[in-house]
Structure 1
Amino acid sequence: MPVVIAMGAFLMTLLGGWAAHRITDRRHLVLGFAGGLMLGVVGLDLLPEALEAAGQDVFGVPAALLCFVAGFLAAHMVERLLAVRKAAHGISAAERTPQVGLTAAAALVGHSAMDGVAIGAAFQVGEGVAVAVAVAVIAHDFADGFNTYTITDLYGNDRHRALLMLAADAVAPLVGAASTLFFTLPAGFLGVYLGFFGGVLLYLATSDILPEAHHTHPAVSTLACTVAGAGFIWLVVGLAS
Protein backbone atom coordinates (compact mmCIF):
# COMPACT_ATOMS: atom_id res chain seq x y z
CA MET A 1 0.00 0.00 0.00
CA PRO A 2 2.76 2.60 0.76
CA VAL A 3 4.26 2.06 -2.71
CA VAL A 4 0.84 2.59 -4.33
CA ILE A 5 0.41 5.86 -2.41
CA ALA A 6 3.93 6.92 -3.42
CA MET A 7 2.82 6.70 -7.07
CA GLY A 8 0.90 9.90 -6.40
CA ALA A 9 4.16 11.57 -5.33
CA PHE A 10 5.81 10.21 -8.50
CA LEU A 11 3.18 11.82 -10.72
CA MET A 12 3.15 15.14 -8.83
CA THR A 13 6.94 15.39 -9.08
CA LEU A 14 6.81 14.93 -12.84
CA LEU A 15 4.02 17.51 -13.08
CA GLY A 16 6.12 20.05 -11.15
CA GLY A 17 9.13 19.46 -13.38
CA TRP A 18 6.98 19.73 -16.50
CA ALA A 19 5.66 23.09 -15.31
CA ALA A 20 9.20 24.39 -14.70
CA HIS A 21 10.30 23.17 -18.14
CA ARG A 22 7.39 24.66 -20.08
CA ILE A 23 7.43 28.18 -18.62
CA THR A 24 10.67 29.20 -20.33
CA ASP A 25 9.57 32.66 -21.49
CA ARG A 26 8.89 33.74 -17.91
CA ARG A 27 12.08 32.45 -16.34
CA HIS A 28 12.25 35.20 -13.73
CA LEU A 29 8.75 34.30 -12.54
CA VAL A 30 9.68 30.61 -12.40
CA LEU A 31 12.78 31.38 -10.33
CA GLY A 32 10.84 33.71 -8.06
CA PHE A 33 8.20 31.06 -7.45
CA ALA A 34 10.85 28.37 -6.92
CA GLY A 35 12.59 30.57 -4.36
CA GLY A 36 9.33 31.05 -2.50
CA LEU A 37 8.63 27.33 -2.57
CA MET A 38 12.06 26.57 -1.14
CA LEU A 39 11.69 29.15 1.63
CA GLY A 40 8.27 27.74 2.47
CA VAL A 41 9.49 24.14 2.45
CA VAL A 42 12.40 25.01 4.77
CA GLY A 43 10.57 27.22 7.25
CA LEU A 44 7.14 25.61 7.29
CA ASP A 45 7.84 21.95 6.55
CA LEU A 46 11.42 20.75 7.01
CA LEU A 47 12.40 22.63 10.18
CA PRO A 48 9.25 21.79 12.17
CA GLU A 49 9.64 18.12 11.20
CA ALA A 50 13.35 18.17 12.03
CA LEU A 51 12.79 19.75 15.45
CA GLU A 52 10.11 17.21 16.29
CA ALA A 53 12.12 14.22 15.09
CA ALA A 54 15.57 15.12 16.45
CA GLY A 55 14.34 15.98 19.93
CA GLN A 56 17.54 16.31 21.96
CA ASP A 57 19.59 19.47 22.58
CA VAL A 58 23.34 19.85 22.11
CA PHE A 59 24.86 22.36 24.51
CA GLY A 60 21.56 24.19 24.89
CA VAL A 61 20.61 24.23 21.19
CA PRO A 62 18.27 21.77 19.42
CA ALA A 63 20.31 19.31 17.36
CA ALA A 64 18.13 19.97 14.30
CA LEU A 65 18.97 23.71 14.40
CA LEU A 66 22.68 22.99 14.74
CA CYS A 67 22.45 20.78 11.65
CA PHE A 68 20.46 23.49 9.89
CA VAL A 69 23.28 26.00 10.45
CA ALA A 70 25.84 23.35 9.47
CA GLY A 71 23.98 22.71 6.21
CA PHE A 72 23.88 26.42 5.39
CA LEU A 73 27.60 26.82 6.12
CA ALA A 74 28.50 23.65 4.19
CA ALA A 75 26.70 24.90 1.08
CA HIS A 76 28.38 28.30 1.46
CA MET A 77 31.85 26.78 1.85
CA VAL A 78 31.42 24.47 -1.14
CA GLU A 79 30.33 27.34 -3.37
CA ARG A 80 33.13 29.65 -2.16
CA LEU A 81 35.78 26.95 -2.58
CA LEU A 82 34.56 26.35 -6.12
CA ALA A 83 34.73 30.10 -6.77
CA VAL A 84 38.34 30.20 -5.49
CA ARG A 85 39.22 27.24 -7.70
CA LYS A 86 37.66 28.90 -10.75
CA ALA A 87 39.51 32.15 -10.03
CA ALA A 88 42.79 30.24 -9.84
CA HIS A 89 42.10 28.91 -13.33
CA GLY A 90 41.13 32.31 -14.71
CA ILE A 91 37.40 31.55 -14.84
CA SER A 92 34.92 34.25 -13.89
CA ALA A 93 33.33 33.74 -10.47
CA ALA A 94 30.00 34.73 -12.00
CA GLU A 95 30.07 31.63 -14.20
CA ARG A 96 27.92 28.97 -12.59
CA THR A 97 29.26 25.50 -11.85
CA PRO A 98 27.04 22.66 -13.14
CA GLN A 99 28.26 20.35 -10.37
CA VAL A 100 26.67 22.62 -7.74
CA GLY A 101 23.30 22.28 -9.47
CA LEU A 102 23.66 18.52 -9.73
CA THR A 103 24.65 18.25 -6.06
CA ALA A 104 21.68 20.36 -4.98
CA ALA A 105 19.34 18.34 -7.19
CA ALA A 106 20.77 15.12 -5.71
CA ALA A 107 19.95 16.46 -2.25
CA LEU A 108 16.38 17.06 -3.42
CA VAL A 109 16.27 13.49 -4.71
CA GLY A 110 17.41 12.33 -1.28
CA HIS A 111 14.67 14.39 0.31
CA SER A 112 12.08 12.82 -2.00
CA ALA A 113 13.33 9.37 -1.00
CA MET A 114 12.82 10.39 2.63
CA ASP A 115 9.29 11.46 1.70
CA GLY A 116 8.67 7.90 0.57
CA VAL A 117 10.15 6.61 3.81
CA ALA A 118 7.80 8.95 5.70
CA ILE A 119 4.81 7.46 3.89
CA GLY A 120 5.90 3.92 4.69
CA ALA A 121 6.71 4.74 8.31
CA ALA A 122 3.31 6.41 8.73
CA PHE A 123 1.60 3.22 7.59
CA GLN A 124 3.48 1.38 10.31
CA VAL A 125 1.90 3.75 12.86
CA GLY A 126 -1.68 3.72 11.58
CA GLU A 127 -3.91 4.51 8.61
CA GLY A 128 -5.04 7.87 9.99
CA VAL A 129 -1.47 9.13 10.27
CA ALA A 130 -0.63 7.61 6.89
CA VAL A 131 -3.40 9.54 5.09
CA ALA A 132 -2.25 12.87 6.56
CA VAL A 133 1.40 12.22 5.67
CA ALA A 134 0.50 11.02 2.18
CA VAL A 135 -1.53 14.15 1.43
CA ALA A 136 1.32 16.39 2.59
CA VAL A 137 3.97 14.49 0.62
CA ILE A 138 1.98 14.26 -2.60
CA ALA A 139 1.07 17.95 -2.49
CA HIS A 140 4.56 19.28 -1.86
CA ASP A 141 6.25 16.89 -4.30
CA PHE A 142 4.99 19.24 -7.02
CA ALA A 143 7.35 21.79 -5.47
CA ASP A 144 10.14 19.21 -5.32
CA GLY A 145 9.86 18.42 -9.01
CA PHE A 146 9.64 22.11 -9.86
CA ASN A 147 12.74 22.92 -7.81
CA THR A 148 14.76 19.92 -9.02
CA TYR A 149 14.39 20.86 -12.68
CA THR A 150 14.84 24.60 -12.02
CA ILE A 151 17.99 24.35 -9.92
CA THR A 152 19.66 21.82 -12.26
CA ASP A 153 18.98 24.08 -15.23
CA LEU A 154 19.94 27.28 -13.37
CA TYR A 155 23.53 26.12 -12.82
CA GLY A 156 24.20 25.54 -16.52
CA ASN A 157 23.32 21.87 -16.92
CA ASP A 158 21.73 20.88 -20.22
CA ARG A 159 18.11 19.80 -20.64
CA HIS A 160 19.05 16.11 -20.70
CA ARG A 161 20.67 16.28 -17.26
CA ALA A 162 17.79 18.30 -15.85
CA LEU A 163 15.31 15.69 -17.07
CA LEU A 164 17.44 12.85 -15.67
CA MET A 165 17.49 14.51 -12.24
CA LEU A 166 13.73 15.09 -12.48
CA ALA A 167 13.20 11.40 -13.29
CA ALA A 168 15.38 10.39 -10.33
CA ASP A 169 13.41 12.72 -8.07
CA ALA A 170 10.13 11.22 -9.28
CA VAL A 171 11.27 7.62 -8.68
CA ALA A 172 12.82 8.39 -5.27
CA PRO A 173 9.54 8.33 -3.25
CA LEU A 174 8.75 4.88 -4.66
CA VAL A 175 12.16 3.59 -3.59
CA GLY A 176 11.81 5.19 -0.17
CA ALA A 177 8.35 3.75 0.41
CA ALA A 178 9.47 0.29 -0.70
CA SER A 179 12.46 0.40 1.65
CA THR A 180 10.19 0.63 4.70
CA LEU A 181 9.05 -2.90 3.99
CA PHE A 182 12.52 -4.02 5.16
CA PHE A 183 13.65 -1.56 7.87
CA THR A 184 12.63 1.43 9.98
CA LEU A 185 14.63 4.67 9.97
CA PRO A 186 15.48 6.03 13.47
CA ALA A 187 13.59 9.27 14.15
CA GLY A 188 16.70 11.00 15.50
CA PHE A 189 18.64 10.45 12.28
CA LEU A 190 15.71 11.72 10.24
CA GLY A 191 15.64 14.95 12.26
CA VAL A 192 19.37 15.55 11.79
CA TYR A 193 19.11 14.93 8.05
CA LEU A 194 16.12 17.23 7.58
CA GLY A 195 17.81 20.01 9.55
CA PHE A 196 21.01 19.81 7.48
CA PHE A 197 19.10 19.61 4.20
CA GLY A 198 16.97 22.62 5.21
CA GLY A 199 20.11 24.71 5.71
CA VAL A 200 21.41 23.75 2.27
CA LEU A 201 18.11 24.65 0.64
CA LEU A 202 17.90 28.00 2.40
CA TYR A 203 21.38 28.92 1.23
CA LEU A 204 20.62 28.05 -2.39
CA ALA A 205 17.33 29.96 -2.29
CA THR A 206 18.77 33.14 -0.80
CA SER A 207 22.20 33.23 -2.43
CA ASP A 208 21.41 32.06 -5.96
CA ILE A 209 17.79 31.51 -6.94
CA LEU A 210 16.17 34.69 -5.60
CA PRO A 211 19.05 37.02 -6.62
CA GLU A 212 18.97 35.50 -10.11
CA ALA A 213 15.20 35.96 -10.30
CA HIS A 214 15.47 39.67 -9.52
CA HIS A 215 18.73 40.39 -11.33
CA THR A 216 17.30 41.09 -14.78
CA HIS A 217 13.62 41.47 -13.81
CA PRO A 218 13.33 43.41 -10.52
CA ALA A 219 9.55 43.48 -10.97
CA VAL A 220 6.67 43.37 -8.52
CA SER A 221 5.38 40.28 -10.36
CA THR A 222 8.58 38.39 -9.50
CA LEU A 223 8.22 39.34 -5.84
CA ALA A 224 4.56 38.30 -5.96
CA CYS A 225 5.58 34.87 -7.29
CA THR A 226 8.01 34.44 -4.39
CA VAL A 227 5.30 35.27 -1.86
CA ALA A 228 2.89 32.97 -3.71
CA GLY A 229 5.41 30.11 -3.56
CA ALA A 230 5.80 30.44 0.20
CA GLY A 231 2.03 30.82 0.59
CA PHE A 232 1.43 27.66 -1.42
CA ILE A 233 3.56 25.63 0.98
CA TRP A 234 1.72 27.19 3.93
CA LEU A 235 -1.57 26.10 2.36
CA VAL A 236 -0.29 22.57 1.82
CA VAL A 237 0.98 22.28 5.40
CA GLY A 238 -2.26 23.71 6.76
CA LEU A 239 -4.47 21.35 4.79
CA ALA A 240 -2.38 18.34 5.79
CA SER A 241 -2.35 19.14 9.52
Structure 2
Amino acid sequence: MTILTWIIAASFLGGALSVLAASVFAYAAKPSWVGRLVSYAIGALLGAVFLEILPHAFEASGNPHTTAATVLAGIMGFFVLEKLVLWRHCHHETCETHGLEQTHNHRHDGHDHGRSGMMILVGDTFHNFVDGILIAAAFLADVQLGIITALAIITHEIPQEVGDFLILLHSGYSKARALAYNLLSSAATLLGGLLAYYALQSMQSLIPVFLGLAAASMIYVAVADLIPGLHKRVGLVVTVEQVLLIGAGIATIAVTEMLVGKYA
Protein backbone atom coordinates (compact mmCIF):
# COMPACT_ATOMS: atom_id res chain seq x y z
CA MET A 1 0.00 0.00 0.00
CA THR A 2 1.16 3.52 -0.75
CA ILE A 3 1.37 6.18 1.97
CA LEU A 4 -1.60 7.99 0.41
CA THR A 5 -3.69 4.79 0.50
CA TRP A 6 -2.80 4.28 4.16
CA ILE A 7 -3.82 7.87 4.96
CA ILE A 8 -7.15 7.54 3.12
CA ALA A 9 -7.95 4.22 4.79
CA ALA A 10 -6.96 5.42 8.27
CA SER A 11 -8.84 8.71 7.88
CA PHE A 12 -11.95 6.82 6.78
CA LEU A 13 -11.67 4.41 9.72
CA GLY A 14 -11.04 7.29 12.11
CA GLY A 15 -14.00 9.24 10.76
CA ALA A 16 -16.98 7.49 9.20
CA LEU A 17 -16.58 4.08 10.81
CA SER A 18 -16.09 5.65 14.23
CA VAL A 19 -19.38 7.52 13.79
CA LEU A 20 -21.22 4.39 12.66
CA ALA A 21 -19.81 2.32 15.52
CA ALA A 22 -20.67 5.08 17.98
CA SER A 23 -24.24 5.30 16.64
CA VAL A 24 -24.78 1.57 17.09
CA PHE A 25 -23.18 1.79 20.51
CA ALA A 26 -25.38 4.74 21.51
CA TYR A 27 -28.53 2.75 20.72
CA ALA A 28 -27.46 -0.46 22.46
CA ALA A 29 -24.99 0.45 25.18
CA LYS A 30 -25.60 0.92 28.86
CA PRO A 31 -23.98 4.01 30.41
CA SER A 32 -21.52 1.78 32.29
CA TRP A 33 -20.23 0.41 28.99
CA VAL A 34 -19.36 3.92 27.83
CA GLY A 35 -17.37 4.49 31.03
CA ARG A 36 -15.40 1.30 30.43
CA LEU A 37 -14.70 2.31 26.85
CA VAL A 38 -13.43 5.71 28.06
CA SER A 39 -10.99 3.99 30.46
CA TYR A 40 -9.69 1.84 27.62
CA ALA A 41 -9.39 4.90 25.34
CA ILE A 42 -7.27 6.71 27.95
CA GLY A 43 -4.79 3.84 27.95
CA ALA A 44 -4.66 3.72 24.16
CA LEU A 45 -4.06 7.47 23.91
CA LEU A 46 -1.30 7.54 26.53
CA GLY A 47 0.26 4.37 25.14
CA ALA A 48 0.39 5.83 21.64
CA VAL A 49 1.93 9.07 22.91
CA PHE A 50 4.66 7.66 25.14
CA LEU A 51 5.46 4.42 23.29
CA GLU A 52 5.34 5.68 19.71
CA ILE A 53 4.64 9.32 18.89
CA LEU A 54 7.03 11.11 21.24
CA PRO A 55 9.99 8.79 20.57
CA HIS A 56 9.52 9.31 16.81
CA ALA A 57 9.10 13.06 17.25
CA PHE A 58 12.31 13.34 19.29
CA GLU A 59 14.20 11.22 16.78
CA ALA A 60 12.87 13.07 13.72
CA SER A 61 13.52 16.54 15.11
CA GLY A 62 17.01 15.87 16.46
CA ASN A 63 16.31 18.52 19.08
CA PRO A 64 14.48 17.17 22.16
CA HIS A 65 14.15 20.63 23.71
CA THR A 66 12.34 22.03 20.67
CA THR A 67 10.02 19.02 20.50
CA ALA A 68 9.26 19.21 24.23
CA ALA A 69 8.49 22.92 23.85
CA THR A 70 6.15 22.09 20.94
CA VAL A 71 4.28 19.58 23.12
CA LEU A 72 4.01 22.11 25.95
CA ALA A 73 2.79 24.85 23.58
CA GLY A 74 0.30 22.38 22.10
CA ILE A 75 -1.16 21.51 25.51
CA MET A 76 -1.56 25.21 26.30
CA GLY A 77 -3.08 25.83 22.89
CA PHE A 78 -5.62 23.03 23.28
CA PHE A 79 -6.57 24.42 26.69
CA VAL A 80 -7.26 27.85 25.17
CA LEU A 81 -9.16 26.30 22.25
CA GLU A 82 -11.32 24.28 24.59
CA LYS A 83 -12.16 27.44 26.48
CA LEU A 84 -13.16 29.21 23.29
CA VAL A 85 -14.85 26.56 21.16
CA LEU A 86 -18.60 26.62 21.63
CA TRP A 87 -19.20 22.89 21.53
CA ARG A 88 -18.38 22.84 25.26
CA HIS A 89 -21.17 25.37 25.77
CA CYS A 90 -23.42 25.03 28.81
CA HIS A 91 -26.19 27.38 29.94
CA HIS A 92 -25.27 27.17 33.62
CA GLU A 93 -21.82 27.57 35.14
CA THR A 94 -22.43 24.69 37.55
CA CYS A 95 -23.39 22.04 35.01
CA GLU A 96 -21.01 19.43 33.70
CA THR A 97 -19.85 20.08 30.14
CA HIS A 98 -18.35 16.72 29.26
CA GLY A 99 -20.46 15.26 26.45
CA LEU A 100 -21.04 11.81 27.93
CA GLU A 101 -21.82 13.05 31.44
CA GLN A 102 -24.03 15.84 30.18
CA THR A 103 -25.97 13.41 28.00
CA HIS A 104 -26.60 10.75 30.64
CA ASN A 105 -27.09 13.26 33.44
CA HIS A 106 -28.31 16.49 32.02
CA ARG A 107 -29.75 19.20 34.12
CA HIS A 108 -31.84 20.85 31.42
CA ASP A 109 -35.39 19.75 30.76
CA GLY A 110 -36.43 19.28 27.14
CA HIS A 111 -34.18 20.19 24.24
CA ASP A 112 -32.60 23.49 23.24
CA HIS A 113 -33.96 23.69 19.67
CA GLY A 114 -30.67 22.60 18.12
CA ARG A 115 -28.31 25.21 19.56
CA SER A 116 -26.04 22.79 21.44
CA GLY A 117 -26.25 20.33 18.57
CA MET A 118 -25.02 22.87 16.05
CA MET A 119 -22.13 23.88 18.31
CA ILE A 120 -21.24 20.20 18.77
CA LEU A 121 -21.09 19.77 14.99
CA VAL A 122 -18.91 22.85 14.44
CA GLY A 123 -16.46 21.82 17.12
CA ASP A 124 -16.43 18.17 16.04
CA THR A 125 -15.77 19.09 12.40
CA PHE A 126 -12.73 21.14 13.40
CA HIS A 127 -11.55 18.33 15.68
CA ASN A 128 -11.93 15.76 12.89
CA PHE A 129 -10.01 17.97 10.46
CA VAL A 130 -7.11 18.20 12.92
CA ASP A 131 -7.22 14.41 13.44
CA GLY A 132 -6.80 13.95 9.69
CA ILE A 133 -3.74 16.22 9.66
CA LEU A 134 -2.18 14.30 12.56
CA ILE A 135 -2.84 10.93 10.88
CA ALA A 136 -1.18 12.13 7.66
CA ALA A 137 1.83 13.54 9.52
CA ALA A 138 2.29 10.25 11.36
CA PHE A 139 2.14 8.14 8.18
CA LEU A 140 4.57 10.47 6.39
CA ALA A 141 7.01 9.93 9.24
CA ASP A 142 6.59 6.14 9.41
CA VAL A 143 3.86 3.65 8.45
CA GLN A 144 4.04 1.90 11.84
CA LEU A 145 3.67 5.24 13.61
CA GLY A 146 0.71 6.07 11.36
CA ILE A 147 -1.08 2.84 12.22
CA ILE A 148 -0.54 3.35 15.98
CA THR A 149 -1.69 6.98 15.77
CA ALA A 150 -4.80 6.06 13.78
CA LEU A 151 -5.63 3.29 16.25
CA ALA A 152 -5.39 5.68 19.18
CA ILE A 153 -7.54 8.28 17.43
CA ILE A 154 -10.21 5.70 16.52
CA THR A 155 -10.23 4.38 20.10
CA HIS A 156 -10.97 7.76 21.64
CA GLU A 157 -13.27 8.91 18.82
CA ILE A 158 -15.89 6.22 19.50
CA PRO A 159 -16.78 7.26 23.10
CA GLN A 160 -16.64 10.93 22.05
CA GLU A 161 -18.95 10.30 19.12
CA VAL A 162 -21.36 8.40 21.40
CA GLY A 163 -21.63 11.51 23.55
CA ASP A 164 -21.97 13.82 20.54
CA PHE A 165 -24.67 11.61 18.99
CA LEU A 166 -26.74 11.57 22.16
CA ILE A 167 -26.37 15.32 22.63
CA LEU A 168 -27.69 15.83 19.09
CA LEU A 169 -30.73 13.72 19.98
CA HIS A 170 -31.23 15.78 23.14
CA SER A 171 -30.95 18.92 21.01
CA GLY A 172 -33.99 17.90 18.99
CA TYR A 173 -32.39 16.15 16.02
CA SER A 174 -33.97 12.97 14.73
CA LYS A 175 -31.84 9.81 14.79
CA ALA A 176 -31.47 9.89 10.99
CA ARG A 177 -30.47 13.55 11.00
CA ALA A 178 -28.02 13.11 13.87
CA LEU A 179 -26.34 10.22 12.03
CA ALA A 180 -26.25 12.11 8.71
CA TYR A 181 -24.72 15.25 10.23
CA ASN A 182 -22.16 13.24 12.19
CA LEU A 183 -21.14 11.39 9.02
CA LEU A 184 -20.82 14.69 7.17
CA SER A 185 -18.69 16.08 9.98
CA SER A 186 -16.47 12.97 9.89
CA ALA A 187 -15.56 13.72 6.26
CA ALA A 188 -13.35 16.50 7.62
CA THR A 189 -10.92 13.79 8.81
CA LEU A 190 -10.32 12.65 5.24
CA LEU A 191 -10.10 16.25 4.01
CA GLY A 192 -7.49 17.09 6.67
CA GLY A 193 -5.53 13.95 5.84
CA LEU A 194 -5.44 14.65 2.10
CA LEU A 195 -4.50 18.32 2.49
CA ALA A 196 -1.75 17.47 4.97
CA TYR A 197 -0.39 14.72 2.70
CA TYR A 198 0.13 17.08 -0.24
CA ALA A 199 1.34 19.98 1.93
CA LEU A 200 3.71 18.08 4.19
CA GLN A 201 5.39 16.14 1.37
CA SER A 202 7.16 19.34 0.40
CA MET A 203 7.70 20.44 4.02
CA GLN A 204 9.25 17.41 5.72
CA SER A 205 10.78 19.61 8.42
CA LEU A 206 7.29 20.32 9.77
CA ILE A 207 6.50 16.64 10.43
CA PRO A 208 8.18 16.59 13.90
CA VAL A 209 6.15 19.69 14.79
CA PHE A 210 2.88 17.96 13.89
CA LEU A 211 3.95 14.84 15.76
CA GLY A 212 4.55 17.02 18.81
CA LEU A 213 1.11 18.56 18.39
CA ALA A 214 -0.41 15.09 17.98
CA ALA A 215 1.19 14.07 21.29
CA ALA A 216 -0.08 17.24 22.94
CA SER A 217 -3.60 16.66 21.63
CA MET A 218 -3.75 13.08 22.92
CA ILE A 219 -2.22 13.95 26.30
CA TYR A 220 -4.70 16.80 26.72
CA VAL A 221 -7.73 14.70 25.75
CA ALA A 222 -6.69 11.88 28.07
CA VAL A 223 -5.66 13.95 31.07
CA ALA A 224 -7.96 16.98 30.88
CA ASP A 225 -11.11 15.57 29.28
CA LEU A 226 -11.33 11.86 30.05
CA ILE A 227 -9.54 11.15 33.34
CA PRO A 228 -11.58 13.68 35.41
CA GLY A 229 -14.73 11.77 34.42
CA LEU A 230 -13.29 8.58 35.92
CA HIS A 231 -12.90 10.27 39.32
CA LYS A 232 -16.68 10.70 39.52
CA ARG A 233 -16.97 6.96 40.13
CA VAL A 234 -15.27 5.97 43.36
CA GLY A 235 -14.80 2.67 45.11
CA LEU A 236 -12.18 -0.06 45.11
CA VAL A 237 -13.83 -2.30 42.52
CA VAL A 238 -14.47 0.58 40.10
CA THR A 239 -10.92 1.89 40.55
CA VAL A 240 -9.36 -1.52 39.91
CA GLU A 241 -11.53 -1.93 36.82
CA GLN A 242 -10.47 1.49 35.51
CA VAL A 243 -6.77 0.76 36.10
CA LEU A 244 -7.03 -2.61 34.37
CA LEU A 245 -8.84 -1.11 31.37
CA ILE A 246 -6.30 1.71 31.09
CA GLY A 247 -3.59 -0.94 31.24
CA ALA A 248 -5.40 -2.91 28.54
CA GLY A 249 -5.41 0.18 26.31
CA ILE A 250 -1.67 0.65 26.80
CA ALA A 251 -1.07 -3.06 26.20
CA THR A 252 -3.06 -2.89 22.94
CA ILE A 253 -0.73 -0.19 21.65
CA ALA A 254 2.37 -2.10 22.78
CA VAL A 255 1.21 -5.35 21.15
CA THR A 256 0.15 -3.53 17.97
CA GLU A 257 3.56 -1.84 17.84
CA MET A 258 5.31 -5.22 18.06
CA LEU A 259 3.07 -6.87 15.48
CA VAL A 260 3.23 -4.00 13.01
CA GLY A 261 7.00 -3.75 13.47
CA LYS A 262 7.34 -7.49 12.84
CA TYR A 263 5.25 -7.65 9.69
CA ALA A 264 5.84 -4.17 8.26
TM-score computed with the length of structure 2 as normaliser: 0.65
Q: Any idea what the Cα deviations from partners look like across 1:79-122, whole Å, max 9, x if unmatched?
A: 46789x979x7532523487689657734542433433554x46
User: Does residue 56 of structure 1 match 2:73?
Assistant: no
2:143 to 131, 134, 145: 134
- Give the equivalent residue in structure 2 for 1:116: 136
Amino acid at match of 1:73: M
- Give the equivalent residue in structure 1 for 2:202: 184
Gaps of 5+ in 1: 123-132
Amino acid at match of 2:24: R
Closer/same/farther in 2, CA of residues 145 and 52 from structure 1, 3 Å limit: same
Give the distance between the partners of 1:104 and 1:54, measured in 2 at CA: 30
- Give the equivalent residue in structure 2 for 1:193: 210
- Give the equivalent residue in structure 2 for 1:125: none
Gaps of 5+ in 2: 100-115, 169-177
CA contact (8 A) 2:121 2:185 kept: no
Q: Any idea what the Cα deviations from partners look like across 1:131-162, whole Å, max 9, x if unmatched?
A: xx335424542432332343355467524454
Closer/same/farther in 2, CA of residues 202 and 154 from structure 1, 3 Å limit: farther
2:249 to 216, 229, 234: 229
Give the distance between the partners of 2:129 and 2:22, measured in 1 at CA: 16
Give the distance between the partners of 2:8 and 2:84, measured in 1 at CA: 39
User: What secondary structure sits across from 1:65 in the alignment?
Assistant: helix
Closer/same/farther in 2, CA of residues 68 and 217 from structure 1, 3 Å limit: same
TM-score computed with the length of structure 1 as normaliser: 0.70
Across the two proteins, how many residue pairs are aligned to each other? 221
Amino acid at match of 2:202: T
Amino acid at match of 2:204: P
Give the distance between the partners of 2:76 and 2:123, measured in 1 at CA: 15
Closer/same/farther in 2, CA of residues 75 and 7 from structure 1, 3 Å limit: closer
Structure 1 runs of 4+ aligned residues shifted over 6 Å read none
Percent identity of the aligned residues? 20
1:75 to 63, 75, 78: 78
CA contact (8 A) 1:20 1:149 kept: yes
- Give the equivalent residue in structure 2 for 1:128: none
- Give the equivalent residue in structure 2 for 1:95: 97
Closer/same/farther in 2, CA of residues 183 and 75 from structure 1, 3 Å limit: closer
CA contact (8 A) 2:132 2:188 kept: no
Amino acid at match of 1:236: T
- Give the equivalent residue in structure 1 for 2:68: 65
Give the distance between the partners of 2:149 and 2:201, measured in 1 at CA: 25
Deviation at 1:217, TM superposition (A): 7.1
Closer/same/farther in 2, CA of residues 52 and 17 from structure 1, 3 Å limit: farther
